[in-house]
């Protein structure tokens, strides 16, 4: 399944936002404009749908509904997330729609309740609660859970729950691989910073694991010419490791483990592995970190090549001029996030802004046309700071 549209209301930075999604979507905007929070809307739906998750847990992990609700929200207090999906990248039209509205009890336990949960398939309503469910209306406690998270209740739209649950987010932190004592590899739940990345590699079937590492090695030989023979292993304590041979003046080079790899090498390994691992929606946050500008400039093409083989959908957040210099990025694939103070952040595709279209028609790159639009106002004043 692939997402075709996202609607947010009173979610984090966004009083109201709507955006279309294709095979790729690049998010850009100034610091604190809401790039991470927009990605988190997809993660929230995953956390509601996943085994061991659910609505109450997903809200709790984010500090409660008051922390999720947009600070710019006014008369209408409910938080809403809605998505449209199609069966795959070749499907001509949207097949599914899922919408969720959240409110908080005004007194008592201050529980998070559903103001609505709605599902459509091919324009036909499959679920509309509590409107069409007298049990929901009579027992408010039922509104503390979505039907999405309940196996007995999501039979007619379990495909949606499965699509949400498979969503993957990655923002690998190399230091957590180099220094495992800084993090708990045994902790449960999501692994957004790659704490258990090496274990995930080792748990992959051997034939698939070796094939992927071979592909990754071929790419790394271009970015890191001294590296070869990338492999995986476990030490005497059973801890997983990556190992590679680094060529130098000695005839046979020297073997190094991941704690001796550069941050950029580890980030690139994590990115390539994740692109090869799975077919569900992939959320990448600032993949350019620690990488050379020339490598960053080729990431969009690399992502496109790897995702097309699996029909995978990728959403990337970045403000890298090198990444947006790729001529293959279409303005309809770029979402601009622009803060409007007390009105929250506005989201629009670059193709919808006339000045961006004119700059592109004049021969400018996406980077030249888009990034200045999202630059913080009065940024020149920073040089005068004392």
Per-residue confidence at 122, pLDDT binned at 50, 70, 90? Answer: very high
Distance of CA 52 to the CA centre of its chain: 20
User: How big is the chain by its Cα radius of gyration, in Å?
Assistant: 23
Which CATH number describes the domain made up of 2-167+280-384?
3.40.50
pLDDT at position 252: 57
Per-residue confidence at 105, pLDDT binned at 50, 70, 90? Answer: confident
pLDDT at position 222: 84
The string of pLDDT tens digits covering residues 290-340 is 898 999 999 999 889 888 777 789 999 998 999 999 988 999 999 999 988
Give the C-alpha separation, 197 to 240, whole Å. 9
Share of the chain above pLDDT 70, in %: 93
pLDDT at position 102: 96
CB 337 within 8 A of CB 41: no
Give the residue-averaged pLDDT of 81-94.
Answer: 83
Query: Any idea where the domains of the chain sit in the sequence?
Result: 2-167+280-384, 173-278
Per-residue confidence at 184, pLDDT binned at 50, 70, 90? Answer: low
CB 336 within 8 A of CB 367: no
The string of pLDDT tens digits covering residues 211-240 is 999 999 988 888 888 888 899 999 898 889
Q: According to DSSP H, which parts of the chain are helical?
A: 35-49, 55-61, 65-68, 134-138, 158-165, 174-178, 197-203, 206-223, 263-276, 293-296, 299-310, 354-361, 366-374
pLDDT at position 135: 79
pLDDT at position 380: 58
Per-residue confidence at 382, pLDDT binned at 50, 70, 90? Answer: low
The string of pLDDT tens digits covering residues 134-173 is 778 778 889 999 999 999 999 999 999 999 999 999 888 8
In angstroms, the Cα distances linking 360 to 83, 135, 148, 331, 347 are: 30, 56, 43, 9, 20
pLDDT at position 377: 63
Could you tell me which of 132, 80, 71, 72 has the C-alpha nearest to residue 103? 80
Model confidence at 251: pLDDT above 60 = no
The first and second tokens of residue 245, run together, are 């041979």
Model confidence at 381: pLDDT above 60 = no
Give the C-alpha separation, 97 to 373, whole Å. 32
Give the C-alpha separation, 256 to 244, whole Å. 6
Give the C-alpha separation, 31 to 48, whole Å. 28
DSSP-assigned letter for residue 69: B
CB 270 within 8 A of CB 256: no
CB 334 within 8 A of CB 370: yes
The number of beta carbons lying within 10 Å of the beta carbon of residue 321 is 17
Model confidence at 250: pLDDT above 70 = no
State the average pLDDT for the chain: 88
CB 216 within 8 A of CB 229: no
Model confidence at 190: pLDDT above 80 = no
């Amino acid at each position: 399944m692939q997402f075709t549209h996202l609607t947010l209301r009173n979610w984090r930075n966004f009083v109201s936002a709507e955006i279309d999604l294709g095979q790729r979507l690049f998010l850009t905007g100034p610091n604190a404009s809401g790039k991470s929070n927009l990605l988190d809307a997809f993660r929230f739906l995953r956390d509601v749908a996943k085994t061991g998750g659910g609505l109450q847990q997903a809200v709790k992990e984010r500090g409660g509904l008051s922390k999720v609700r947009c600070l710019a929200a006014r008369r209408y207090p409910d938080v809403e997330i809605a998505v449209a999906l199609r069966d795959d990248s070749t499907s001509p039209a949207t097949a599914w729609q899922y919408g969720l509205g959240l409110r908080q009890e005004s007194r008592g336990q201050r529980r998070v309740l559903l103001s609505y949960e709605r599902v459509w398939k091919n324009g036909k309503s499959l679920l509309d609660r509590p409107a069409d469910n007298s049990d929901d209306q009579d027992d408010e406690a039922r509104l503390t859970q979505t039907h999405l998270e309940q196996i007995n209740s999501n039979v007619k739209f379990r495909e949606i729950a499965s699509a949400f649950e498979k969503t993957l987010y990655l923002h690998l932190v190399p230091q957590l691989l180099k220094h495992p004592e800084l993090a708990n590899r045994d902790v449960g739940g999501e692994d957004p910073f790659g704490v258990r990345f090496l274990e995930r590699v080792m748990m992959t079937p051997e034939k698939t694991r070796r094939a992927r590492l071979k592909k990754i090695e071929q790419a790394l030989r271009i970015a890191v010419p001294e590296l070869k023979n990338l492999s995986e292993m476990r030490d005497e304590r059973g801890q997983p490791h990556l190992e590679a041979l680094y060529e130098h003046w000695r005839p046979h080079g020297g073997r190094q483990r991941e704690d001796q790899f550069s941050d950029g090498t580890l980030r690139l390994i994590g990115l390539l592995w994740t692109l090869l691992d799975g077919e569900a929606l992939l959320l990448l946050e600032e993949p350019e970190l620690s990488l050379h500008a020339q490598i960053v400039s080729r990431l969009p093409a690399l992502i496109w090549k790897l995702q097309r083989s699996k029909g995978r959908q990728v959403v990337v957040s970045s403000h890298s001029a090198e990444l947006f210099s790729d001529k293959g990025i279409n303005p309809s694939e770029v979402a601009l996030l622009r803060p409007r103070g007390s009105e929250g952040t506005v989201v629009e595709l670059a193709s919808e802004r006339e000045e961006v279209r004119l700059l592109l028609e004049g021969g400018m790159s996406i980077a030249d046309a888009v990034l200045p639009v999202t630059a913080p106002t009065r940024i020149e004043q920073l040089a005068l700071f004392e």
